[in-house]
Amino acid sequence: MAAPKVLVLRAPGINCERETHHAFGLAGGAPEYVHVKKLLQDPDLLDQFKIFMVPGGFAYGDDIASGRVLANEIRRKMGARMTAFVDRGGLALGICNGFQALVKLGLLPRLGGGDLEQQVTVCHNLSNHYECRWVTLKSQPNRCCFLDDDLTLRFPAAHAEGYLLTKDADQLRILDQEGYVALSYVDENGQKTTEYPVNPNGSPAGCAGLTDVTGRVLGLMPHPDRAYLPHNMPGWSRDGLAPKGDGMVIFEAMVKAARAES
Amino acid sequence: MEAWRVEVAVRPNLPDPAGKAAGAALRGAGLELQGKVRSKRGYLLGAELDRSQVEQFARDVLVDPVQEQFEILAPGEVVPPHTPRLSVLPLPGVTDPVAGSVQKAVVDSGLPSVAAGTYRAFEFDPANPAEGLWTTANECLANPAIQRVVADRVPLQLPGPGSQPDLDVQAIPLAGLDGDALVSVSVDGGLALDETEMRAIQDHFAASGRAPTRMELETLAQTWSEHCIHKTLTGKIRYGDQIIDNLMKTAIFQVTKTLDRDFCVSVFKDNAGVITFDDEDCVCIKVETHNHPSAIEPFGGAGTGVGGVIRDIMGTGLGAKPVASTDVFCFAPPNMPKDEVPAGCLPPQRVLEGVVSGVRDYGNPMGIPTVNGAVHFDEDFVGNPLVYVGNIGIMPKDKVEKQPNPGDSILVIGGRTGRDGIHGATFSSLELHTESETVSSGAVQIGDPITERKAMDAVLRIRDENLVSAVTDCGAGGFSSAVGEMAEGLGAEVELSDAPLKYEGLAPWEIWISEAQERMVLAIPAEHVARALEICEEEDSEAVTIGTFNDTGRLVIRYQGTVHADLDLAFMHDGIPAWERQATYTPAQLADPELAAETDCRQALLAVLSDFNVASKEWIIRQYDHEVQANSAGKPLVGVCEDGPADAAVLAPKLGSNRGVVLSNGLIPRYSKIDPAAMAECALDEAMRNLVAAGGDPEYTAILDNYCWGNCRKPEQLGGLVHASFALRDLALAYHTPFVSGKDSLNNEFNVGDRTIAIPGCILVSAMSVIPDVRRTMTTDLKRAGNQLVLVGRTRRELGGSVYWKTRGELGACVPRVDASYGKSILDGVYRAIQSKSVTAAHDLSEGGLGVTVAEMCIGGRLGADIDLDAVITDGVQRAEEILFSESQSRFLLEVPADRMADLEVNLHGLDFSTIGSVTEVDRLCVSQGGATVLSAEVDDLVHAFKHPLDLDGTMTQQGDR
C-alpha cells in the first residue's frame, strides 16, 4: 500500500517543518512541503493528500494575534475546501502555532460541524510568560479517530499562549465531557490538572489538545515533533534510551489511520 | 496622514497580561498607582477605507471573538478625555513589523491596500494624577531611543510619504586643512577617524586631485572602524621592550597555524570558523558582541545582535543553516540600589529583562534553539553591559568556499533599507557617556525575525540549486561593508536607487551605510539571476539586483546615474595607516583577607549558591526555545526535576544521524581584577572542562575568543589585554585547541562626570567539539544512591576572586592559575573515563568550587551525598571552607558505580584522583572533616538557595521547593 501523502504546510514564520516532515517520514508517511502561497493559488493541491499538517512556529510573526493572519487567508481563500477535505475523510494535525491557527481558522473544535467560524480561543498563559518545559500528557477518553485513550506521553511545551478560553462554562463542559479535550496535562498521579508548572498555561480541564466534531482533526500545544527521536527525550541519561521518542505515537497513529481510510 | 484607529482590549472580566505588566513596571518605578491598568492594542488604517470596511476588518481579523472587544475612532477623532490614558508609538523610521502583516491581512480580506501602523495604549484609573503618570510612563513604558509617548489629546497619524531626499553629492574639501581641522571634520560627521587616518585620506585625495565626497568619507569610516577591522589588535603595540606587530596574528592565528589540526576547514577568513563534521558536512561557529546597542536599548540591541550573528552563519561560505544559538551576558547585579546607578545608565534589572526578551523574541521566531549560555554579574558592568551572541550552523562540504566573479550580479535579499542603525559601526568604536542614550538613537535597530527567516530559506535554496558564487550579510556598515568586502580584489558598480526603501527621503549616503537589519548580499552569475529571483518570490522574500561585480579595482556608487563615490578598493582595504600603541602591564597590588574560620559551612554554602554568579539561570533558560529543530540531545536543564544545571549543550544537528556537537563556554571576568592572565587561562580551562564533562572530545575541539575590554588607547588597559592574550595563546597550544574565529569590543568604558567606569577586561572562550555519537554523552545529575564520588585534580588554596570571598566582601590575591600539561592530562583522562562508561554523572568544579559542584549534582538528582574532606587531594589546604570553596582549575567530580571503579582507575592512571564520598538516599548533603560534621544541609534548602535569587517573577520556585 502506498505511503499516505502528508501536506506539510510552509508559511513565513512557520519553523518546525523540517522535524515534522522527518517524523512523518519515519512513521511511514510520504511528507511533502507545500508553501501556503502555492496552496492558495492552487487549492486543488489539497485533494492529493491524506493528511494536512500545520507545523509550529510563528506564522507571520504572530502579528495581530497568534495564528491569526494565516487563519484569515486560509479561511478567506479556501475555507470551504478545508471543511470538505476533513468531511470527506482527510486528517489534519496542528502543533503549537499550528494548533492556534486551526482554532482561529475554526477547524477546531467546530462544534455542530458547520462552516468555519472561530468558536474558542487560545490565549496568554496564566503565568504571563513564554516558557519552554517538558510536560506529561495523558490522552483522555476522546472522539479523535486515531488517538487511543489513556496514553501517557512526555513532550516539550514551548509557548506563551496556550490557555484554552471558551465562550462560557457550558461550552467548556461540552468540550471536556464529549471527548473534544483529547489530551490533558497531568500531575504525577496521572490526574488532569490546572496547576503550574505541570500545566504550563493553566488551561481548564488541563487541556493540552483538542479534536474536532469529526474526530479527524487534532491540535495540541506541546511538541511531539521535538520528542520523536530517542535522544530527544529528557530522561535518557537517567533511564536509558527507548527505541523511539514518545512523539512517534502521534505520527504513527495518523499514518495508520490515513492508510485505513484509503 | 490621518487614519482610522481600531483599539482592541480584552473583555473586562478576563486577564489582561499587558496591562498587569505595565502596572507592575509603574509600581516598580516607585509610582503609587491607583487601580488597574487597562492595555489596548491600537491599529492605524489608511483613511481611504470607509467605516463599514474598517468595522468588518476589525471583526474578522483584528479582534479575537472569544476574548476581545474593540472600538473605532474615525480619522481626526480624539479619545474622550474622561480617562487618563496614553499611547506608545514607534518613532518615525523605527521598524514596525506588525504593520506589514496588518497591510497583508487587509488585502487578504478583499479590501483595498492601505497604509497601516500599530501602537499600544494604556488607560488608568481616574484617581491617578496625570502629571506623575506621564513622567513615570515615559521612563518605564517606552524607550525614548525607539518610541514616543503621547497623551492622546490630538488625533494619531500615520507617517506621511516622507521628504524628498537630499541628492547632493557633497564634496568635502580636505585640501590644506591642518590636524585640528581634520579631526573636527571627523567628529562633526560622527566618523570616529583619528588625525592620522584623516591625513591618509587627505593625501590620497590630494593625489587624485579632488575632494572626497561625503559617501566616500562615510565608506572609509565604516571600513576603517575598530568594529570592522580591529585595528588595535592588528596594529603595532609597544609592550615593555618588545614590539608586537599584530597581536591577533601572533597570539591567535599563530596557535591555529602551529597546531595545524586537520579538522579546520576555513578559519579567520569568513564570517564564521568552519570545521569538519562528517564526510558530507561541516559545522561553523561565530560569536559576536552587541554591547553598545544593548546598553542604549536592551531589547532591540540584543535582538538585532542575535539576528546579526545568525546572518553571519547564513553568510558563511555559500550559506550555512543555523542550528543553535549560545548567548552570554555580563550585567550589574539586578538588585543594585537605584542611587548607585549612574546617570545615563539604565537600571540593571531593566537591562537584564530587556536583553533576555530581545534574545527570546528574535531567536524563538527564527526557529533556532538557544541551547547554551552564561550570565556574569559585577557592578562594573553598570555602564557597559556585555551581550555576547553566538550561533552555529551546518553546511555541505562543497559549499564552504566563496568567490565572486566579474560579471556576477549583486543581489540583495530580505529587509528594506531605512534610516535605522546609521553609524552603528563607528558608534560602537566610541565610549559611552551620560548623553549616549539621547544622542545615539540613530544607531539603535529593531529586529524583524520573520523577514530574516524568509531570507534564510531563500538563501539556502539558492545555495542548494548552485546559483550563487558568494554570499555575505549586511552587518555593521551596511551595504558599504558587505559590497566593499565582496568587491575586494575585483571591483563593483552599484546603482543605489534600485534598493528597496522602508520610506522615502533617504540620502544616497544613508542608503549606502544604513545598518537596517535582515539583509543579505549575494553574488549571482548573470545566467542564474532569474531563477534566484524566482526562489525569493516563492519564499516571499523581497530581492533586487543593485549592481555588478567587475575587475576595475574600483567601487563606483551611483544614485539615478550620478556618481556619489568612486573609490580605489586597494586604498579602501589597505590604505589605513598602521597603528602603534603603547601597552604597559603592572600587576595589581592586592593581598588575601584574613578571615576567621567558619564554624559551620552550611550558611557559607547557601550564600555561595545564592550568589547571582552561581544561582540558577532557569528563569532565563526557560524563556528560550531550546527544543526547536529536534536536535537536542543534552538539555540546558537536567535531572529528576529538570532543574539541575548542565555543563554544555549536546546537539545532533542532522536529523537521522547520531553524530553530534558539544557546545560550551568559559568566562570569569572577576579574576581579571587580580590578573588578566589568570582570567584568560581559566576561561579556556572552564570552557574545556564544561565540554569534557558533557562528553565532548578535547582532541576534536575548536575554540573562539571574544575580547571585551576597557579603552585600549590607555596603555594600562592594552597592557592587561596583551598579558591575557599571551596566557591564552600558551594554554591553547598546550590544549591542542585551534582558534577558528573571534571578535573584540575594546571601548567598554562609561564616563559620568569625571569618573570612568571600565569593565573588568574579559575573554569569553567558546568551545565546540564534534563527537561520533550523542548517546555517549553525560549529565551532571547524580543517578543512584550507593555510587562513589570521585574528585579528579588537585585543590590548592586558590580563593582569590572566588565567589566565597565575594560573599564575604573580599577580592583577595591568590587567584587560580592553570598548569597546562597537568590540565591537559586531566581533560584527556576524564574524556576516556566517560567514553568507557565508567561514569554515571560528571560535573566540573568552577565558581563556588567543590561545595557548589556537589550541591548542584545533588539538586539534579534530588539525592544526598556524604563527603569526607580528608580524602581530598590538596596542596596542604587545611580549613574546611577553603577546601570547599577554592576555585582551583582542572578539577572534576565524577559519580562512579562501585563495580566500575576498577575501570575508572585504569582510565585515570597517573592522575590525581580520590574517592571523597558517596551518593546517599537521604535528601541531605553531609560534609565531614577529621570525623566531625562541618556541613549538613537538606537538598530542599540547597534547591531553594540555588533557584530563588534569579527567579525574577517567582514562577520557577513555586513548585514544592519550600
Q: Does position B936 have pLDDT exceeding 80, yes or no?
A: yes
Chain B neighbors of A223, CB-CB under 8 A: 627
Q: Does position B239 have pLDDT exceeding 50, yes or no?
A: yes
Looking at the DSSP assignment, which residues form a beta bridge with residue A34?
A9
Q: What is the ipTM of this complex?
A: 0.96
**pLDDT (0 to 100) of residue B117:** 93
Q: Does position B386 have pLDDT exceeding 70, yes or no?
A: yes
**pLDDT (0 to 100) of residue B440:** 45
Cis-peptide, bond into residue A197, ω within 30° of zero:
yes
**pLDDT (0 to 100) of residue B446:** 77
- Place B55 in a pLDDT band, splitting at 50, 70 and 90: very high
Q: HSE, CB side, 13 Å, CA atoms: give it for residue B238.
A: 9
- Place B441 in a pLDDT band, splitting at 50, 70 and 90: very low
**pLDDT (0 to 100) of residue A262:** 64
- Can you tell me whether residue B285 is helix, strand or coil? strand
Nearest CB partner across the interface for B627, out of A73, A104, A156:
A156
Number of A to B CB contacts under 8 A, please give it: 171
Q: Does A128 sit within 8 Å of B17, measured CB to CB?
A: yes
Q: If you average pLDDT over residues B661-678, what whole number do you get?
A: 98
More confident residue, B254 or B137: B254
Q: If you average pLDDT over residues B198-216, what whole number do you get?
A: 95
More confident residue, B158 or B52: B52
Whole-structure pTM value: 0.95
Task: Count CB neighbours of B236 within 10 A.
Answer: 14
Nearest CB partner across the interface for B104, out of A15, A69, A131:
A69
Q: Does A118 sit within 8 Å of B64, measured CB to CB?
A: yes
Taking Cα atoms as reference points, which of A97, A80, A130 lies closest to residue A12?
Answer: A97
Among A172-186, B80-94, B137-151, B433-447, name the one with the lowest average pLDDT. Answer: B433-447
Chain A neighbors of B656, CB-CB under 8 A: 22
* Residue B718 identity (one-letter amino acid): L
Q: From the CA of B291, how many Å to the nearest CA of chain A?
A: 25
Q: From the CA of B629, how many Å to the nearest CA of chain A?
A: 6
Q: If you average pLDDT over residues B802-826, what whole number do you get?
A: 98
Q: Does A141 touch chain B (CB under 8 A)?
A: no
- Gap between the Cα atoms of B662 and B635, Å rounded: 11
Q: Does position B859 have pLDDT exceeding 90, yes or no?
A: yes
pLDDT along chain A (262 residues), means of 10: 93 96 98 97 96 97 94 96 96 98 97 96 92 97 97 97 96 98 97 95 97 98 98 94 97 96 70
More confident residue, B468 or B234: B468
Q: Does A229 sit within 8 Å of B630, measured CB to CB?
A: yes
Q: What distance separates the 2 farthest-apart alpha carbons in chain A?
A: 50
Taking Cα atoms as reference points, which of B791, B754, B779 lies closest to residue B873?
Answer: B791
Q: Does position B962 have pLDDT exceeding 50, yes or no?
A: no
Chain B neighbors of A129, CB-CB under 8 A: 623, 953, 955
Q: Does B64 sit within 8 Å of A121, measured CB to CB?
A: yes
The answer to whether residues B195 and B179 touch, using CB atoms and an 8 Å cutoff, is: yes
Percent share of chain B, pLDDT over 90? 79
Nearest CB partner across the interface for A72, out of B67, B105, B364:
B105
- Gap between the Cα atoms of A30 and A23, Å rounded: 10
Among A12-26, B24-38, B862-876, B922-936, name the one with the lowest average pLDDT. Answer: B24-38
Among A232-246, B87-101, B235-249, B765-779, name the one with the lowest average pLDDT. Answer: B87-101
- Can you tell me whether residue B400 is helix, strand or coil? coil
Q: Does B955 sit within 8 Å of A197, measured CB to CB?
A: yes
**pLDDT (0 to 100) of residue B569:** 95
Taking Cα atoms as reference points, which of B767, B675, B773 lies closest to residue B726?
Answer: B675
Range with the largest mean pLDDT of A135-149, B88-102, B187-201: A135-149
Q: Does position B812 have pLDDT exceeding 90, yes or no?
A: yes
Mutation target vs B (from A21, A26, A34, A63; most B CBs, 10 A cutoff): A63
The answer to whether residues B151 and B84 touch, using CB atoms and an 8 Å cutoff, is: no
* Residue B142 identity (one-letter amino acid): A
- Place B429 in a pLDDT band, splitting at 50, 70 and 90: low
Average pLDDT, chain B: 92
**pLDDT (0 to 100) of residue A238:** 94
**pLDDT (0 to 100) of residue B141:** 84
Q: Does position B203 have pLDDT exceeding 50, yes or no?
A: yes
**pLDDT (0 to 100) of residue B958:** 57
Cis-peptide, bond into residue A109, ω within 30° of zero:
yes
Q: From the CA of A154, how many Å to the nearest CA of chain B?
A: 13
User: Is residue B2 classed exposed, middle or buried when 0-12, 13-18 and 19+ CB atoms within 10 A define those classes?
Assistant: middle
Task: Count CB neighbours of B168 within 10 A.
Answer: 13
Mutation target vs B (from A58, A108, A165, A238; most B CBs, 10 A cutoff): A238
- Which residues, at least 6 apart from B136, have a Cβ–Cβ distance to it below 8 Å? B26, B29, B30, B31
Taking Cα atoms as reference points, which of B733, B666, B726, B655 lies closest to residue B696?
Answer: B666
B204, B230, B290, B292: which is the annotated catalytic residue?
B290
Q: What is the pLDDT of residues B450-461, one digit of tens each?
A: 999 999 999 999
Q: What is the pLDDT of residues B866-884, one digit of tens each?
A: 999 999 999 999 999 999 9
Chain B neighbors of A15, CB-CB under 8 A: 365-367, 453, 628
Taking Cα atoms as reference points, which of B467, B468, B493 lies closest to residue B558?
Answer: B493
Active-site residue B944, yes or no?
no
Q: Does position B431 have pLDDT exceeding 70, yes or no?
A: no
- Gap between the Cα atoms of B530 and B536, Å rounded: 10
**pLDDT (0 to 100) of residue B884:** 98
Active-site residue B433, yes or no?
no
More confident residue, A128 or B177: B177
Q: Does position B961 have pLDDT exceeding 50, yes or no?
A: no
Looking at the DSSP assignment, which residues form a beta bridge with residue B664?
B767
Cell 582558534 -> residue: B739
Q: HSE, CB side, 13 Å, CA atoms: give it for residue B134.
A: 7
Task: Count CB neighbours of B538 within 10 A.
Answer: 15
- Place B80 in a pLDDT band, splitting at 50, 70 and 90: confident
Q: What is the pLDDT of residues B748-799, one digit of tens each?
A: 999 888 889 999 999 999 999 999 999 999 999 999 999 999 999 999 999 9
Chain A neighbors of B919, CB-CB under 8 A: none
Q: Does B655 sit within 8 Å of A18, measured CB to CB?
A: yes
Q: From the CA of B390, how many Å to the nearest CA of chain A?
A: 20
Q: What is the pLDDT of residues B714-735, one digit of tens each?
A: 999 999 999 999 999 999 999 9
Taking Cα atoms as reference points, which of B740, B654, B736, B746 lies closest to residue B692?
Answer: B736
- Gap between the Cα atoms of B166 and B188, Å rounded: 18
B204, B227, B423, B626: which is the annotated catalytic residue?
B227
- Gap between the Cα atoms of B868 and B856, Å rounded: 17
Q: What distance separates the 2 farthest-apart alpha carbons in chain B?
A: 88
Q: If you average pLDDT over residues B278-305, what whole number do you get?
A: 93
The answer to whether residues B293 and B300 touch, using CB atoms and an 8 Å cutoff, is: yes
**pLDDT (0 to 100) of residue B439:** 42
Residue of B nearest to A159 (CA): B625
* Residue B90 identity (one-letter amino acid): P
**pLDDT (0 to 100) of residue B331:** 97
Q: Does B454 sit within 8 Å of A197, measured CB to CB?
A: no
Nearest CB partner across the interface for A129, out of B67, B365, B623:
B623
**pLDDT (0 to 100) of residue B159:** 76
Q: From the CA of A245, how many Å to the nearest CA of chain B?
A: 11
- Place B551 in a pLDDT band, splitting at 50, 70 and 90: very high
Among A96-105, B95-104, B279-288, name the one with the lowest average pLDDT. Answer: B95-104
